[in-house]
Amino acid sequence: MSIRNTEQGYGWVAIGLHWLVALSVFGLFGLGLFMVDLNYYSSWYQTAPMIHKSVGILLFMVMLFRLLWRGLNPHPVSPENHQQWEKTGAKVGHFLLYLILFCLMISGYLISTADGRAISVFEWFEIPATVTGINQQEELAGDVHEILAWTLIALVAGHGLAALKHHFIDKDSTLVRMLKPTK
């Protein structure tokens, strides 16, 4: 099993990062949905947002590493049976996934730091508030955060359906390459 990508497939680092991000996104989305209905008397009222913020900051760091890793590794070539529109769609889709995910994390940061307080990451370290004082910052960033979260989940669903189409209908290696590292 290869650590690095090859032209034939992904290495275990890229695969691990892919699935770590996927699990984090679904976990954060679910926790976000859970948080909006909490009231002051809930035992999760402070815990859930702390977990959401902390995991979000760690995910931001993972995504920065993922971009670096992606830039330092070859990108596997598409299987021969992929049409040009599929290749273009995959590039646009991946770009949008990255863009929306980073914008989502930045909007979350703007929500959390609107009052000037730093974000504590599991009490291990803090991320300082650097952008504050924007008129209605928390509300505006909150609206953007919610819209982007739903948009990201829709894109992820399309991403997953495309992988399943390649596996079950086209019968190519697209899905398998993200499950099993190259040798």
Give pLDDT, residue 183.
Answer: 76
Listed residue (92, 104, 101, 32) closest to 66, CA to CA? 101
Residue 55 has a pLDDT of 98
Mean pLDDT over 2-29 rounds to 96
Tell me the average pLDDT across 34-58: 96
| pLDDT for the residue numbered 80 | 85
**pTM flag (> 0.85):** yes
Integer angstrom CA distances of residue 28 from 69, 121, 140, 178: 23, 15, 20, 22
CATH class for the domain made up of 12-177: mainly alpha
So what's the pLDDT on residue 126? 98
